[in-house]
């Protein structure tokens, strides 16, 4: 997951900056607004694609990219990021999508053995931990924090669930569901 997160952010950044339109000050504004929940929105967009299509998303790349673009553009944080125009968001998503696919190919044995749920869990954790303020980011709470606290596989301990809930005001500590067993 570290290689994937790096590919989706650090490794594509120079390519994005090189193609951004505008003056240095406008590019600086875009960079600052991407830092204002843009990257966590990007990961949530990938989560939403996996929620909808599972690992078959690679067979529908245009549709998947559109979902990610819409996630970023329609984010609850979007009104605070006017410099993230449709062009800028499409550029970021195109570069990130290419990096995502490259990471899948380069690490195909690793990604191949992950189930869809494991991949989702890892992406949700990345989105949650890179988000500067999950308590104020509706999409991160809905598509990352809540599914992690309700994790039916029991990968997230009850203590971790309680800590997350307390930190982000998700539920009172006594109402945190325990890990559930799948029916036999």
User: Is residue 102 over pLDDT 60?
Assistant: yes
How far apart, in whole angstroms, are the C-alpha atoms of residue 115 and residue 118?
5
pLDDT of 184 reads: 37
Predicted pLDDT of residue 129:
87
pTM beyond 0.85, yes or no: no
Helix, strand or coil, per DSSP, at residue 57: helix
Q: If you average pLDDT over every residue of the chain, what do you get?
A: 78
From CA 145, how far away is CA 177, in angstroms rounded?
Answer: 13
Which position has the higher pLDDT, 114 or 11? 11
User: In sequence order, what are the residues at sequence separation of 6 or more whose Cβ sits closer than 8 angstroms to the Cβ of residue 183?
Assistant: none
Mean pLDDT of 147-165: 70
Question: Which pLDDT band holds residue 167 (cuts at 50, 70, 90)?
Answer: low
Rounded mean pLDDT, 104-125 = 68
Q: What is the mean pLDDT of residues 105-125?
A: 68
Whole-number pLDDT of residue 182 = 36
Average pLDDT in the 101-130 region?
71
User: At residue 155, does pLDDT exceed 80?
Assistant: no
User: How far is it, in rounded angstroms, from Cα 114 to Cα 156?
Assistant: 17
Residue-level pLDDT at 98: 81
């Amino acid at each position: 997951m570290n290689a994937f997160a790096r590919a989706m952010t650090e490794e594509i950044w120079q390519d994005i900056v090189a193609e951004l339109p505008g003056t240095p000050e406008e590019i600086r504004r875009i960079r600052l607004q991407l830092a204002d929940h843009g990257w966590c929105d990007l990961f949530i967009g990938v989560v939403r694609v996996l929620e909808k299509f599972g690992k078959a998303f690679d067979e529908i790349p245009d549709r998947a990219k559109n979902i990610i673009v819409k996630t970023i553009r329609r984010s609850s944080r979007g009104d605070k990021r006017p410099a993230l125009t449709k062009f800028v968001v499409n550029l970021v998503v195109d570069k990130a999508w290419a990096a995502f696919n490259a990471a899948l190919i380069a690490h195909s044995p690793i990604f191949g053995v992950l189930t869809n749920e494991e991949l989702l869990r890892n992406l949700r954790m990345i989105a949650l931990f890179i988000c500067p303020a999950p308590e104020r980011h509706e999409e991160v709470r809905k598509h990352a924090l809540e599914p992690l606290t309700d994790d039916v596989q029991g990968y997230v301990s009850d203590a971790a669930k309680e800590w997350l809930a307390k930190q982000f005001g998700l539920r009172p500590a006594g109402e945190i569901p325990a890990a559930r067993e799948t029916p036999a």
